[in-house]
Every structure is written in C-alpha cells, then in structure tokens.
C-alpha cells in the first residue's frame, strides 16, 4: 500500500469512527416525543438522529433503541422475513418493557405516557391479534370490574358508567395503551346474537370491544361518552353502527364522571323492539 493511501486512511478511519460514535450517542439521547408519528423503523432512526438532546441518557431510551435495533437485526437476518421464534422473542421483549414501565408509573406525566408508545407499536406490528387482551390484563386492576346490575335502567342520562378508573390519574396512560374502547349494553337477552355481530364489527376496526352486557330496562338507542375530546370516537362508532344497519342513536355527553378513562364510550341498544334497520329486525 502506498504511503499516501496509508496517510489518507489514518485520517479518515478515526474520523468515521468518531462520526459513528456521535450518531449512536445522538440515538441514545434523542427526544422520545418524536416517536408519535408511527412505527416505521427507518423513519424513527432518522428522527432520533436529527433530534439531539442535551439530557443525560435515560435507561428507558436505551431499551427503546435496543428494541428497534433488535427488530432491524431480526428482519435482516432472514432477508426481511422474521421467523416465528424471532418474532416471539421481540414481542416478549416489548411486553416486558411495557409491564415494567406501566407498573412503575405512579403518576400521570408526559414522560410516562410517551415511554409506552414504542413498545406498544411493536406489539401492534407483530402481535396485533393478542394485543388488546394483553393490555386489558395489564390494566384490569386500575378499572372497576363489570358488576351485573339487576336494577332496571329508567333514565339513561343518569345511569352510572359501566367502567370507571380506580385512580383518575391513569386516564392518559390507559388511552395510549387502549385508545378506543366500547362497551355495548342491550336489553333483550333473546336477541344477543345480532348484537354480538356488532361487537365483532368494532373489533375488526381495531376497537377494544371485549364483551356484551345485558342491562334491563327500556331505554333509547344511545351513544354515551364522557370527555369532549372523544367526539371523534363517537363519529367513528356512528359509522360502524351505520355499516351494520343500526341507525337513529342519541348522542349523550356526560362530563361529570371524571373517572371514566379517556377513549371509552358506551353504546346502549334497545333491541326489544324493531327500529330503523335495513334488515327490519334488531338483534336477530
């Protein structure tokens, strides 16, 4: 090798090493807020590099970087097709991060909320079929369980919410994990199957719609929501109801219930009688 080439490499190689070290340092110290846009790995890495932070390196950010690096490595190891056992490992890692961060989030804060976003998106990407059940199991101790209410509902405007938070300060964090929940109430148990098809329609649109709940009474078809910012969910729910031929729902906003999680709505269906549906029946 010529002396000129050696001299050139002696200058360039250390410089490249320093550049790489600088990039990695930037990755570790980048701002977590930039992850909200999505889970596209290359976009995330680029944003991390561009968004340098003067804060000291956080353990949570290191774990996020390792998670993303592991995803890239596993994808590249098999020509872009991740093997099932590799996917299970990645999903297990993401679940461990979420469990640890959620259990240690004793107060509501932007940091706690954002630190759940990356591992959550990994689960949605590689374990979407089971992600809602995982989040429900994780958060069930923070939400009041369903208790069969045998009392007849006479006024839907004052009926208590079907689920509430044990601690109000978990609302924002729960919305990150479970952004859209719907609880469907109905009053004719003999026509449950038709209502269950509606629940499935919500699940197909990525809603948490885990069960149907029988509530005795004669009430109007209604959508109840508890936070004004959830009106967009009401609009989404109305479209799903319309697609299943359920129409004429009264919209009720009940802001006095502060302990209802954000992102949660209720649908109350009077399926005792025929009402405006294309198929002329309600609940069969």
Please report, for the chain, the start and end positions of each structural domain, with discontinuous segments joined by +.
3-128, 151-269
231 pLDDT band, cuts 50/70/90, is very high
Of residues 154 and 173, more confidently modeled: 154
Strands of the sheet with 212-214, listed across from one edge: 212-214, 181-186, 264-269, 222-225, 250-253
Of residues 202 and 13, more confidently modeled: 202
Q: Which one-letter DSSP state was computed for residue 35? A: G
46-78 residue pLDDT tens: 454 444 344 444 566 677 777 888 888 888 877
User: Does residue 80 come out as left (phi exceeding 0), alpha (psi in the -120 to 50 range) or beta?
Assistant: left
When pLDDT is averaged across residues 191-205 and rounded to a whole number, the result is 90
3-51 residue pLDDT tens: 544 444 444 444 444 444 444 444 443 443 343 344 454 555 445 444 4
When pLDDT is averaged across residues 249-271 and rounded to a whole number, the result is 93
Count Cα atoms within 13 angstroms, Cβ side, for 226.
25
């Amino acid at each position: 090798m010529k002396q000129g080439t050696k001299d050139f490499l002696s200058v360039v190689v250390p410089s490249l090493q320093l550049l790489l070290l600088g990039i990695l340092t930037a990755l570790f110290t980048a701002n977590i807020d930039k992850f909200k846009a999505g889970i596209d790995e290359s976009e995330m890495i680029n944003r991390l590099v561009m968004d340098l932070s003067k804060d000291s390196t956080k353990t949570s950010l290191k774990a996020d970087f390792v998670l993303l690096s592991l995803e890239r490595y596993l994808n590249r190891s098999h020509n872009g097709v991740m093997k099932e056992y590799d996917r299970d490992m990645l999903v297990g890692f993401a679940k461990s991060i979420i469990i640890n961060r959620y259990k240690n989030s004793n107060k509501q804060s932007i940091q706690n909320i954002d630190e759940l976003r990356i591992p959550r998106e990994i689960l949605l990407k590689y374990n979407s079929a089971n992600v809602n059940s995982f989040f429900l199991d994780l958060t069930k101790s923070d939400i009041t369980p369903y208790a069969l209410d045998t009392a007849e509902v006479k006024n839907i405007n004052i009926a208590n919410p079907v689920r509430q938070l044990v601690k109000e300060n978990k609302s924002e964090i729960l919305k990150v994990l479970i952004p859209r929940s719907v609880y469907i109430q109905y009053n004719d148990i003999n026509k449950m199957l038709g209502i269950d098809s509606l629940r499935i329609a919500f699940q197909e649109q990525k809603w948490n719609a885990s069960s149907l709940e029988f509530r005795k009474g004669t009430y109007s078809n209604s959508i109840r929501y508890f936070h004004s910012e959830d009106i967009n969910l009401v609009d989404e729910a109305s479209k799903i109801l319309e697609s299943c031929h359920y129409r004429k729902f009264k919209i009720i906003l009940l802001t006095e219930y502060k302990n209802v999680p954000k992102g949660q709505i209720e649908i109350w269906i009077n399926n005792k009688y025929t009402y405006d549906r294309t198929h002329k029946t309600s609940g069969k």
